[in-house]
Amino acid sequence: MSKKQDDWFVSRGGQRFGPVTFTQLMEAAKQGRLEPRTDLIFGGALAEWTPAGDVDGVFERKERRKEEPARRGHRAPDNSLADSGSYDSDSQPKTKLHLPGATRLGYFLGVTVLPTILAIGFARFIPEIADMVGEKFAQYTPLLVLIIPLLVLVITVKRFQNLAMSGWWTFGLLVPLMNWWLQYRLICCPTGYGYTKKMDPIGWILAVLYWLILVGGIAAYFVIGAVMINDLIESGQLQQFRNQFDELKAAIPTPAAE
């Protein structure tokens, strides 16, 4: 990794601290105050928030000599982080973790409100657009509605990125049962949940509502289905369907045995 700059930030549990120097990060790691998997780091040449354990030089191997950081462009570790309290989560101003992509609210608006507005607008203006472009291209104007699913796809990918998850998880929405779990994350979980695994109060409220609605909808589906089947049995329609099926089956010629 290239020589690191002195402005670094640490995210823990959705809260951001800093700026601190890279030397302070190394010292915090040595003192056990930096968790390699769940604490995220941003700064220097990093393009995104990265687990501390994946950033070269933060967690030094014991067998490495102390002068190695100096050869890579770092000053020797000191106790400035502990002395200054710059990484004290109780004394630092706490701000939310910022990641690129769509937040919960942005995702909700992007897959519900915005497509609805676009659908209404297309229904209203596509005929006028067809008149404007002429008969030669008028047949292609209905293809404008493809903008809506494409927009929903982009927003969904951006939402996964905001959760610190790969955008490829979007294809998981096509898999039964898995799509329930992924929708739970898209709708309920806060920014960076893929790293922090921490829910905020709003997330817990949304999670309870989501699973109640989902479980209630499944239960209602089976109850309504059972009621409809019972009505078919009592009315004799189910028996009529069976008789018609038997007649159709008898009408099909059986291949002669050779």
Q: Tens digits of per-residue pLDDT, 50-85? A: 888 888 888 865 444 444 444 455 444 444 443 434
pLDDT per position as a tens digit, 195-242: 778 889 999 999 999 999 999 999 999 999 999 888 878 777 777 877
From the CB of residue 87, how many other CB atoms can be counted at a distance below 10 Å?
Answer: 21
Return d(Cα 97, Cα 19) in angstroms, integer: 14
Return d(Cα 18, Cα 9) in angstroms, integer: 5
Residue holding tokens 């109850």? 223
pTM exceeds 0.85, yes or no: no
pLDDT per position as a tens digit, 7-25: 788 887 666 777 788 888 8
In DSSP terms, 11 is beta-bridged to 16, 40
Residue holding tokens 């494409």? 150
Q: Which amino acid is at 143?
A: L
Return d(Cα 156, Cα 70) in angstroms, integer: 44
Alpha helices (H) along the chain: 22-30, 68-71, 80-84, 104-108, 114-133, 135-138, 147-162, 178-188, 193-196, 201-235, 237-251
